[in-house]
Amino acid sequence: MPAAPQTPHPFRSRARSGATRGRAFTLAIAASLAFGATPTHAAERLVEGIAAQVGNEIVLVSEVMELAGPVEERMRRAGAPDQEILMIRRDALERLIEAKLLSSVVERLELGAEREEIDAAIQAIAEDNGLSIDQLLASVTSHGLTVDEYRDKIRGEIERSKVVNAMVRSRVQVEDAEVHALYEERFGDQRDGGEQVYLRHLLVRADGPRAKSAAEACAIVADARRRIAAGEIEFGDAARQVSDMNPERGGELGWIHREDLAGWMAGPVERLGPGELSAVIEMPFGCNLLQVVERQEHRAISFEEAEPQLRSYLFQQRTEAEYVKWLDTLRGQTHIERKGSFGG
């Protein structure tokens, strides 16, 4: 029986301990990847100068432009005003300032990530996503990063986690009553009985990066369906190649109760047996392909089953809040001066 996926992601690492394994400060990594490393406007890449001084360190304008570049490009194409562009750059600067603050703590406490730790983290990410190392790195480069840049981001995540362990985590406690309250919030009205299905989903948007019309989107999905049905490719590999929805998950949706299926899914899923593919399903948002992996009777989740994950979630939430407080204190103890247009 397939296990429900735990939101796999090619930029999530196991380089953390205990209850924080679920998310463990991947937020900074995800945000950095949202900015990415795509070049900015050619003219603006020539701009150089100091954007901020952080203690004895400096942040260059070119660093800010590189980090903010991809988001800025999209916003410019959408006609965003200059004030919104400036906010994007200022947000990028704040992330770089945070990185400088963390690097100073890492150096002072000797918490740097070793090469072996980075290798182990990448191996764990690949295993969590059901990929080989080569497949993972191919996914990384398709997001616009080089392998070295990816390793640097994993290094940053590991070092950030080490700083949190050393400076924050001991302050965090979760009471039993809080865990019970969260269980009632999430599972108090869960369905009792019925059937659930394990689904895979491939989507090509009609106006997405791969297709410019519904007909083109459906042609791509139809070709993927043909290749899967012929045994030329696995569903997950096809989804990673062409899907516009969470391609890094290989199309895995996991277990869903039949009564919780989207309306357009219910009919096709009803007619499918384990392992079978739906026809190409055209919807206003794009063309879809579904696969039912398995069916089973739904069983309500008990508190004992849910408790570890709920406690982990609360612990992580509290840890992130304490981290923000600690970082604000560190900012207050460090001379930080923003220069030029970033100083307003």
User: DSSP characters for 263-319?
Assistant: HHHHHHHHTPPTTPBPPPEEETTEEEEEEEEEEEE--PPPHHHHHHHHHHHHHHHHH
Measured from the Cβ of residue 30, the count of other Cβ atoms closer than 10 Å reads 15
- Residue-level pLDDT at 192: 77
Residue pLDDT, tens place only, 226-235: 999 999 999 9
Q: Kindly state the tokens that stand for 94.
A: 């704040």
pLDDT band of residue 59 (cuts 50, 70, 90) is: very high
- Residue-level pLDDT at 97: 93
More confident residue, 220 or 79: 220
Q: Angle at CA 97, nearest 5°, toward 53 and 12?
A: 155
Are 258 and 194 within 8 A, CB to CB?
yes
How far is it, in rounded angstroms, from Cα 313 to Cα 319? 10
- Residue-level pLDDT at 76: 86
More confident residue, 20 or 179: 179
Instruction: Give the position of tokens 């996926």.
Output: 5
pLDDT band of residue 344 (cuts 50, 70, 90) is: low
Every domain of the chain with CATH number 3.10.50.40 lies at 195-297
- Residue-level pLDDT at 31: 33
pLDDT band of residue 184 (cuts 50, 70, 90) is: very high
- Residue-level pLDDT at 28: 33
Instruction: Look up the pTM and report it.
Output: 0.54
| CATH fold for the domain made of 195-297 | Chitinase A; domain 3 (3.10.50)
251 burial level (CB within 10 Å; 0-12, 13-18, 19+):
buried
pLDDT at 26 over 80: no
Per-residue b/e over 158-173, b at no fewer than 16 CB within 10 Å?
bbbbbbbbebbbeebe
Lowest mean pLDDT among 43-47, 97-101, 258-262, 311-315: 43-47
pLDDT at 16 over 70: no
pLDDT band of residue 27 (cuts 50, 70, 90) is: very low
Mean pLDDT value of segment 97-123 = 93
**Which residues does 51 contact at the CB level (< 8 Å), separation at least 6?**
59, 60, 61, 63, 64, 93, 96, 338, 339, 340, 342
How far is it, in rounded angstroms, from Cα 153 to Cα 159? 10
Every domain of the chain with CATH number 1.10.4030.10 lies at 18-172+313-342
Mean pLDDT value of segment 306-321 = 93
- What letter would DSSP give residue 209? S
Q: Helix (H, G, I), strand (E, B), or coil: what is residue 204?
A: strand
| CATH fold for the domain made of 18-172+313-342 | Triger factor/SurA peptide-binding fold (1.10.4030)
Residue pLDDT, tens place only, 244-268: 988 888 999 988 988 889 999 999 9
